[in-house]
Structure 1
């Protein structure tokens, strides 16, 4: 018996990606400030894919990559005996970014209103962090501050999907 993919638990990576995509929808004017804040809060509290999927039911593309159906155009591959399986991820295929995860993280921590995300090319996310910080009179600075810590600890990708360099 196979498990329903919507019941799989999600981790920080999936929650962060969902928040980034919601920020893009917010910056495109598809979500009001209140809707955006509610959905980002729900994304942070999500436990399963179904919890995150519901946040995008009424939104057009883009959606987080883990919620997209698998590509039907690629035939399944069977690894050769003794070979090491690889994951086909866009960030692993593209050349590394010229942007640094250390610079991005430090900018997010020292200037906690999205400056590090402007640096990495995530303009939608940066604008959302800026607006949340300004509209909450600085209380929303916790979001970019934590984002900076995550960038320093785990790295990330730039606006073109390339891995940030160390």
Structure 2
């Protein structure tokens, strides 16, 4: 199916090239074995306030590069808004795929970045497993709560949602 260029562009974030929230809203189906993950650049406002929005944009682009380098082609990455991102790990989600290790690899990649004109920064991550018959908005909320727990307990960490 051919999607018009204008329609495709309306589903992509112009800064990062990732899918945007409109793309998330337009997705129709979610398989039962998926993991919803929220990622948020720590103290991003201070990067913008201290170094300016151009450097903030470079930090977001650097983060996006790190994210893209550490996910699989089957996964979906969205720029949710500002410095917050949603990642959906799809396909072959089972006990053999260690979701925590995938997310920890992303966290370590961000932490290790050492770019000349961008200050060092970290990322906090929260995630939850898709449960059968759970509404998508509930999964997003649970991943967001896990992210909040990462932020509340020190930032620069990965937290799984627990009831």
Same fold (TM over 0.5): no
TM-score (structure 1 length as normaliser): 0.26
Structure ranking higher in strand proportion: 2
Instruction: Looking at secondary structure, tell me which structure has more helix per residue.
Output: 1
Structure having greater relative contact order (Cα 8 Å, sep ≥ 6): 2
